[in-house]
């Protein structure tokens, strides 16, 4: 079943993380009943989902969600449309993203001691990169002459270009000269100490440590820097369609979320308390 799932996911052009999430959740289901998920009846599936829901905080919890998506994908792959009907729908939570202020971004960027770690943060924020896009960056993707970054095979298997700032270029040149990376912009190492692309956990650790040393209280993830990138561009006057293209969004509705957090309009929003006590 895993071989079929792997083949189907790869032929559909979906990401490695999709395969990992689906297969992990289906493997847990297999171990729970000690048989293939495709051999389970409606009651067994619903009982298992009920157990998951009771163990996790909300129905939108990542593991619960990927179990539903993984089952739905497996049923579709094997022509079991009748079983898809029993699966509950997953409502997308209507949450606004965490956005850093410009001063908080500066605090975060100067927190790490290592230039490599400061550059990881600067690329996440300054180019609006997703975590896997940062990890996949190679030296050949850096165009210092045109001040552009080529992002290859982002979400949806789409390429795009985003601008590089003078500060990023200066830092990258200094880093490349000192570290001499061969293929990947930011190296990690496997168990045999061979250079590989920086791991997801490695990127998350850099962000987590920077937040801790910066003193910022907000919950910050790698995606918070992408959210801040989009919001700040809108606040600085860039139009929504250009922001959509820079982020690599397929649907403008996704980009429109940032209009709810960006401080835009003819007059900047304010608290009435400021006017109430303004002498």
What confidence tier does 260 reach under pLDDT thresholds 50, 70, 90? Answer: confident
pLDDT tens sequence across 101-160: 999 999 999 999 999 999 999 999 999 999 999 999 999 999 999 999 999 877 767 899
Q: How far is it, in rounded angstroms, from Cα 265 to Cα 279?
A: 25
pLDDT value at residue 225: 95
Q: Please report, rounded to a whole number, the percentage of residues in the chain having pLDDT higher than 90.
A: 58
pLDDT value at residue 85: 81
Which tokens belong to 123? 């690329």
| pTM for this entry | 0.73
pLDDT value at residue 265: 65
Q: Show which residues are catalytic.
A: 130, 155, 223, 226, 249, 258
DSSP letters of 147-190?
Answer: TEEEE-S-TTS--EEEE--HHHHHHHHHHHHHH--SSBSSEEE-
**Strands of the sheet with 148-151, listed across from one edge:** 142-143, 148-151, 160-163
What confidence tier does 95 reach under pLDDT thresholds 50, 70, 90? Answer: confident
pLDDT tens sequence across 28-40: 999 999 999 999 9
Contact 187, 134 (CB under 8 A): no
pLDDT value at residue 270: 66
pLDDT tens sequence across 233-244: 999 988 999 999
∠ CA 268-272-273 to the nearest 5 degrees? 120
pLDDT value at residue 93: 65
Gyration radius of the chain's alpha carbons: 22
For range 249-270, the mean pLDDT: 77
pLDDT tens sequence across 42-81: 999 999 999 888 876 554 578 888 999 999 999 999 888 8
> Would the pLDDT of 266 be above 60?
no
Contact 121, 206 (CB under 8 A): yes
CA 164 vs. chain centroid, Å, equals: 20
pLDDT tens sequence across 183-234: 899 988 777 777 788 888 999 999 999 999 999 999 999 999 999 999 999 9
């Amino acid at each position: 079943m895993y071989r079929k799932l792997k083949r189907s996911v790869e032929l559909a052009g979906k990401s490695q993380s999709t395969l990992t999430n689906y297969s992990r959740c289906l493997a847990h289901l297999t171990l729970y009943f000690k048989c293939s998920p495709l051999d389970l009846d409606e009651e067994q599936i619903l009982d298992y989902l009920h157990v998951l829901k009771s163990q996790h905080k909300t129905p939108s919890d990542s593991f619960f969600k990927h179990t539903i998506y993984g089952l739905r994908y497996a049923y579709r792959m094997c022509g079991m449309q009748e079983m898809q009907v029993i699966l509950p729908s997953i409502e997308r939570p209507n949450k606004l993203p965490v956005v850093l202020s410009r001063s908080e971004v500066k605090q975060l960027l100067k927190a790490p001691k290592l230039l490599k770690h400061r550059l990881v943060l600067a690329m996440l924020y300054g180019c609006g990169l997703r975590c896997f896009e940062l990890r996949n960056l190679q030296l050949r993707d850096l165009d210092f002459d045109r001040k552009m970054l080529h992002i290859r095979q982002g979400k949806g298997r789409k390429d795009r270009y985003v601008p590089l700032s003078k500060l990023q270029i200066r830092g990258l040149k200094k880093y490349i000269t000192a570290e001499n990376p061969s293929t990947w912009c930011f190296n990690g190492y496997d168990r045999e100490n061979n250079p590989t692309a920086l791991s997801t956990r490695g990127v998350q650790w850099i962000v987590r440590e920077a937040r801790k040393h910066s003193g910022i209280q907000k919950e910050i993830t790698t995606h918070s820097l992408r959210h801040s990138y989009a919001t700040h561009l809108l606040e600085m006057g860039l139009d929504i369609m250009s922001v959509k293209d820079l982020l690599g969004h397929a649907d403008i509705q996704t980009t429109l979320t940032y209009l709810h957090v960006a401080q835009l309009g003819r007059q900047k929003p304010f608290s009435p308390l400021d006017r109430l006590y303004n002498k």
